[in-house]
Each structure stands twice: as structure tokens, then as C-alpha cells.
Amino acid sequence: MTDNLMKFVDLQVQTGRHQDASQVVEEALRRYADDIATEAAQIRAVRDHIEDGRRAIADGNFRLVAGEVESAALLARLTRRRHAE
């Protein structure tokens, strides 16, 4: 570990947040594992939305939007729909 990380670990023990360095490392690894799991779930959700969009396009279930006015109107509709859910 770097000196900065060692100082951080020592500080966590000194302040009483953890009883020893092992507990600091265990919490850090738990949080890291949670972050990775959350990231994986977010990636899956994005991929699912992409696949839904591809299916909709293949089925002809889409509408072309052109220009700033139509884009702004679409964004407003989607925003309203999201807030209604």
C-alpha cells in the first residue's frame, strides 16, 4: 500500500471507526464489491434499453425526430412520462 493509504488506514483505527487495519480493508473491499455490482447492474440496464430500442426499430415502432423543436418536444414528453411513473 502507498504511504497515503497506510496513513488513512491508521487514521481510521486511531479515530475508533475500526478496531484494526483488517477491518478497514474489509469495509473497503465490501464497498468496492458493491460498487462493481451496481456498475454491472447499470450496464445491464443500459444494454436492455438498447436491445428494446433495436427491437422497436426492427418492428417499425419508431418515429423520426428532426430539428431542435421536435427534439425538445420529445424530451419534454419523455421527461413528463418519467416523472409520472
User: In which domain, by residue range, is 32 found?
Assistant: 3-84
Structural domains in the chain (count): 1
CA 33 remoteness from chain centre: 13
How far is the CA of 40 from the CAs of 10, 34, 36, 46, in angstroms? 32, 10, 6, 10
Answer whether residue 39 shows pLDDT above 90.
yes
Percent of the chain residues topping a pLDDT of 70: 100
pLDDT digits over 4-33, tens only?
999 999 999 999 999 999 999 999 999 999
